Homo-oligomer: A and B are copies of this chain.
Amino acid sequence: MRIAVINETSAADKNKDIVAALEGRGHDIINAGMKKTGAQPELTYIHTGLLAAMLLNLKRVDLVVGGCGTGQGFLNSVMQYPGVCCGLIQNPLDAWLFGQINGGNCISLALNFGYGWAGDINLKFIFDRLFSLEQFGLGYPPHRQESQQQSIRMLNEVSKATHRDFAEISAVLADPVIKPVLSYPGVAELLDIDAVKDSRIKKSLLSRK
């Protein structure tokens, strides 16, 4: 799996813990956001939410691991975009249930709130459970599986119905939202806009550089 780790500024000091917890699992890890709290250029959850959504919508990654101080800000930011299903994950059982029931493509971590001794080990335990699932979105408990799988499919349809498409979104986002993302070190290479197949999205993104 191709996984992007994307940290905003307030909890960027925990970035190394996330990367360490993801390593050695055979996944391709892309450390796309901040690595140190307060470093320049700075990304808030407004920016990391957009970057996460871009990487998912352009199919540059399969899963995004983001977060912020409490996890709620990044969650609300990334959920503004189409094609995202994000869980707030604080412990191994959260991870297991979210993977099992919701089968999403994004997780938001609480990286300051509740993050003390062995917070790094908790991250390892979280990813152990998330990646131990045989199938994402199978459902739980068993008697609710069919209904839950149907809900996942409906949620995908709703997401398309309620959002503008990514070409439109890329065109209308305000400069202070999109410019810091497109100019962030490494993002151009990661997005690889020239290789974007959808000509409308490509044109739209190129116009914002």
**Is A69's CB under 8 angstroms from B101's CB?**
yes
A72-B101, A121-B96 known; A151 vs B46 contact (CB < 8 Å): yes
Q: When each residue 110-123 of chain A gets 1 if its CB lies under 8 Å from chain B and 0 otherwise, what string results?
A: 10111111110110
- State the CA gap A115–B115 with chains docked (Å): 6
Q: Which residue of B lies closest to A157 (CB)?
A: B174
**Is A162's CB under 8 angstroms from B81's CB?**
yes
Q: Which residue of B lies closest to A125 (CB)?
A: B92
- State the CA gap A49–B158 with chains docked (Å): 10
**Is A70's CB under 8 angstroms from B101's CB?**
yes
Contact partner of A172 among B80, B85, B92, B161, CB < 8 A? B161
- State the CA gap A158–B45 with chains docked (Å): 12
Contact partner of A85 among B46, B76, B121, CB < 8 A? B76
Residues of B within 8 Å of A98, CB to CB, are 70, 72
Residues of B within 8 Å of A76, CB to CB, are 79, 85-87, 102, 104, 155
- Asked if A182 is at the interface of the complex by the 8 Å CB criterion, the answer is no
Of A50, A91, A113, most B-chain CB atoms within 10 Å: A113
**Is A70's CB under 8 angstroms from B97's CB?**
yes
**Is B157's CB under 8 angstroms from A73's CB?**
no
- State the CA gap A175–B105 with chains docked (Å): 26
- Asked if A2 is at the interface of the complex by the 8 Å CB criterion, the answer is no
A70-B98, A72-B101, A119-B116 known; A158 vs B140 contact (CB < 8 Å): no
- Given pairs A73-B148, A76-B85, 4 additional interface contacts (CB within 8 A): A76-B155, A114-B116, A116-B116, A161-B169
A residues near B (Cβ < 8 Å) are 10, 44-46, 49-50, 69-70, 72-73, 75-77, 79-82, 85-88, 91-94, 96-98, 101-102, 104, 110, 112-119, 121-122, 125, 129, 140-141, 144, 147-148, 150-151, 154-155, 157-159, 161-164, 169, 172-174, 176-177
Q: Sample 14 A-B pairs with CB under 8 A, ordered by A number.
A: A70-B117, A72-B98, A76-B86, A93-B121, A97-B118, A110-B116, A113-B118, A114-B114, A115-B117, A116-B119, A125-B125, A154-B174, A158-B174, A161-B173
